[in-house]
Structure 1
Amino acid sequence: MPTTLFSLAFGVGTQNRQNDWLEVFYAQPLIRPAGELCDAVAKCIGYSGGNQAIAITTNQAAELAERLKSLDPVQSALLTRLAESHRPLVATLLAEDAQLSSTPEAYLKLHLLSHRLVKPHGLNLAGIFPLLPNVAWTNQGAIDLTELPARQLEARLKGTPLEVTSVDKFPKMTDYVVPAGVRIADCARIRLGAYVGEGTTVMHEGFINFNGGTEGPGMIEGRVSAGVFVGKGSDLGGGCSTMGTLSGGGNIIISVGEGCLIGANAGIGIPLGDRNTVEAGLYLTAGTKVNLLDEGNQLVQVVKARDLAGQADLLFRRNSQTGAVECKTHKTAIELNEALHAHN
């Protein structure tokens, strides 16, 4: 029976002095690879099933490159390069999309997201935080925090600059993959594991967390939190924020439909349908009381914002005299939405 895998990748990474993995770079991760390819890899490295991260030598990488020439020329070429490595190598094989059990597995799933092979909330990321060590990200690569003082001293003595750009569990996405067709003003604000769709522009104050992102095209000037997926043609205004949890309702995906506009310093705690507009400065939580207005601006009923989750063609605004949150629907909302998009 052929070997079946959910994902397979060959990586090169960094370990500390105790041989613990700090990070792994996968140049060409695969999703649901062919059975013949899986069989060849399994026989070469002694894979016995399940989810495993198996350390491989440069000799094994060279052998794999030869075996895969006719099966997958791209992976064969990658393994030929990995066979020249002076850094530790790993083959990570995931039989199923199960809870994570190792740092190489965690990095593979982050790569699958940033390579656009899986969309946000399409992977089981349970247990990821304990498996991502908090490290110093430097111009000389990832460094274990306990080893950083010695490395800093060594750099000073040699006159070699050692710049610590961040201390975090997540590295910059662009140090691992730059998706095609994107513009990113400040790469430090996009974490590995972000999904940045083709045609997306992320301005200087824009931020995209892991397991969140944009389908593209669209512009991001605010924050896209983990669990948020922004649809095509949507704009998130400067300083806006989004939440990944519905208040009082448990964790859900906070999706933003196509053609939405979330104004500056605005935020949402509910999924938005297509062509929604949230005016600047309005923070819309799941429990926010909303006055539904008809086309004549007459009150129809008062609902909670969660009751409007996912509906299309809505305009959310705050009444400047009473402070009440209002929602215009149907034709009026569509016309106002189009006018706001044209203005911006």
Structure 2
Amino acid sequence: MSNYFAIALGCGTKNRKDNWLEVFYPDPSLNPDNKLIDVIREELDYQGGNAALELTHRQVQHIAREWREAGFEHEASYAVAFQESDRPVVLTVLETDAEPATTPEAYLKLHLISHRLAKPHGVNLSGIFPLLPNVAWTNEGAVDLEELPERQLLARLNGKVLEVNSVDKFPKMTDYVVPAGVRIADTSRVRLGAYVGEGTTIMHEGFINFNAGTEGPGMIEGRISAGVFVGKGSDIGGGASTMGTLSGGGNIIISLGEGCLLGANAGTGIPLGDRCTIEAGLYITSGSKVQLLDDKGEIVNTVKARDLAGQSDLLFRRNTTNGAVQCLTNKSAIALNEELHKHN
């Protein structure tokens, strides 16, 4: 069994100061074979630890040859492809899942999630923000913001337009990874580092942040914030949202279990178990006072929503007469529309 956490060979973009703006890894490997690492040690004088090694064309050629001779034809084929590129090539080796220290390391960890090799919270992303430069994402790739005016002028002088699609630290996922078996109506609303499980449909207003996602299948018409994971068969209605660690959730990890439903414009700031429903327009926070009802609709207790965190078969609703938030057993678990969720 491999002692290494991950490796990947990629190409990317640098600015004029020789700083990485982004890295594309077409085929990252989690828990790689030690023999792959042995080749790297011999060819690159790699001494261990976590490292982003920028390679010359000759080094890429040597690694491709050695990997092929060692029986790693798949990995060698990518190395051969990079030989023909004029883009900077980097081999990123992660001996451990330590906090990333370089931009290539940060990008590798985001790729691992979007390739479904690791689930949200499955890799250490501490300190990632300073490692991701804020760049202009254009129709010609990543552009350093200081270099953007000149690039725009050059494009105009050549009768073209440099289209700036966003200015952000994170690119859209589908420019790097397109997972199998998903539907994404607006790809700009899913960031690299999102985990999109097979059978997931993301409608036009749906959004998935990095280090978050869905087990699938599921229908996402609202927002999945950073750190939130949505279980199998759960739906997030139009305008609904989840409170992530970057949007007020603090250190609480918000998640939805299987078969849950957040109604339109609803939301949750507590983790939900399986088969839970929050009715349309109701936002539950950890401090919300909730009346507990018995099977006869009688109030038996009043608790804070955090006391119900992670419990299954709950239906949250608002009393239309007095506005009180109430909770009772969810007797009608949500059954997904199979026709709606078909992907072929």
TM-score when scaled to structure 2? 0.95
Which residue does 2:51 correspond to in 1? 52
Please give the secondary structure, in 1, of the residue aligned with 2:331: helix
Letter in 1 for 2:8: A
CA distance in structure 1 between the aligned counterparts of 2:235 and 2:244, rounded to whole angstroms: 18
Please give the secondary structure, in 2, of the residue aligned with 1:68: helix
Which residue does 1:159 correspond to in 2? 159
CA deviations on 1:235-267 (whole Å, 9 max, x unpaired) are 000000111249998413211000000001111
Unaligned runs of 5+ residues in structure 1 are none
CA distance in structure 2 between the aligned counterparts of 1:265 and 1:250, rounded to whole angstroms: 22
Displacement of 1:71: 3.0
CA deviations on 1:265-306 (whole Å, 9 max, x unpaired) are 111001000000000010000010100000000011001111
Which residue does 2:210 correspond to in 1? 210
CA contact (8 A) 1:247 1:287 kept: no
CA distance in structure 2 between the aligned counterparts of 1:106 and 1:114, rounded to whole angstroms: 13
Identical residues among aligned pairs (%): 65
Aligned residue runs from structure 1 range 178-189, under 5 A = 178-189=178-189
Letter in 1 for 2:251: N
Letter in 2 for 1:16: N
CA distance in structure 2 between the aligned counterparts of 1:276 and 1:3, rounded to whole angstroms: 40
Bigger shift: 238-247 or 315-324?
238-247
Displacement of 1:340: 9.5
CA contact (8 A) 1:3 1:38 kept: no
Please give the secondary structure, in 2, of the residue aligned with 1:317: strand
CA distance in structure 2 between the aligned counterparts of 1:171 and 1:265, rounded to whole angstroms: 27
Letter in 1 for 2:201: T
Displacement of 1:131: 0.4
CA distance in structure 1 between the aligned counterparts of 2:157 and 2:146, rounded to whole angstroms: 19
Aligned residue runs from structure 1 range 180-259, under 5 A = 180-245=180-245, 250-259=250-259
Displacement of 1:59: 1.2
C-alpha RMSD of the superposition:
1.8
Which residue does 2:140 correspond to in 1? 140
CA distance in structure 2 between the aligned counterparts of 1:6 and 1:339, rounded to whole angstroms: 39
CA separation of 1:338 and 1:212: change in aligned 2, threshold 3 A: closer
Aligned residue runs from structure 1 range 3-152, under 5 A = 4-69=3-68, 70-152=70-152
CA deviations on 1:152-180 (whole Å, 9 max, x unpaired) are 00000011221000000000100001000
Unaligned runs of 5+ residues in structure 2 are none
| Segments ≥4 residues shifted beyond 3 Å | 245-250, 337-342
CA distance in structure 1 between the aligned counterparts of 2:116 and 2:62, rounded to whole angstroms: 29
CA distance in structure 1 between the aligned counterparts of 2:194 and 2:322, rounded to whole angstroms: 40
Displacement of 1:339: 7.8
Q: Number of matched residues?
A: 338
CA deviations on 1:66-125 (whole Å, 9 max, x unpaired) are 111133211100000001110100000011011111000000000000000000011110
CA contact (8 A) 1:289 1:305 kept: yes
Which residue does 1:334 correspond to in 2? 331
Which residue does 2:312 correspond to in 1? 312
Please give the secondary structure, in 1, of the residue aligned with 2:91: strand
Displacement of 1:50: 1.0
CA distance in structure 2 between the aligned counterparts of 1:246 and 1:289, rounded to whole angstroms: 23
CA distance in structure 2 between the aligned counterparts of 1:31 and 1:249, rounded to whole angstroms: 30
TM-score when scaled to structure 1? 0.95
CA deviations on 1:125-153 (whole Å, 9 max, x unpaired) are 01100000000000011000000000000
